[in-house]
Amino acid sequence: MDPLNLNPVSSLPSLPDLGQAGGEPAAENTNFSDILKQALQEVDAAQHTAEQEVRNLMTGESTDMHTAILAVQKADVSFQMMMAVRGKLIDAYRTVMQMQM
């Protein structure tokens, strides 16, 4: 049993098959903004879980320091990944804006 749900591969949406004729994606349309919103919600949820675990540890409701540390580390890695994606998106935006028409 994985108390922190550390299996990110199973929660990712499947990518469309780009090898089809014409290179068109599958019929299922997923907006990029929806994917970003979902990712932000998952990062937020990880942050709230970490806060709750630390609060439980500090108030004595829980004595499992291992779970609290794992929750904090998961939240930290999620936040770092979100910031890296944000940086790449800003770089891509700047590159597009510098293109000459």
Residue 24 confidence (pLDDT): 52
Instruction: Give CA angle at 24 (27, 89), nearest 5°.
Output: 95
* Domain ranges within the chain, ordered by starting residue: 29-98
Q: pLDDT (tens digit, 0 to 9) for every residue of the chain, 101 residues total? A: 455 555 555 555 665 555 554 445 554 678 888 998 999 999 999 999 999 999 999 999 988 899 999 999 999 999 999 999 999 999 999 999 999 87
CB-hemisphere CA count at 13 Å for 77?
8
Residue 29 confidence (pLDDT): 75
- In the DSSP assignment, the letter for residue 23 is G
Residue 12 confidence (pLDDT): 54
Give yes or no for a contact between 3 and 67, defined as CB atoms under 8 angstroms apart: yes
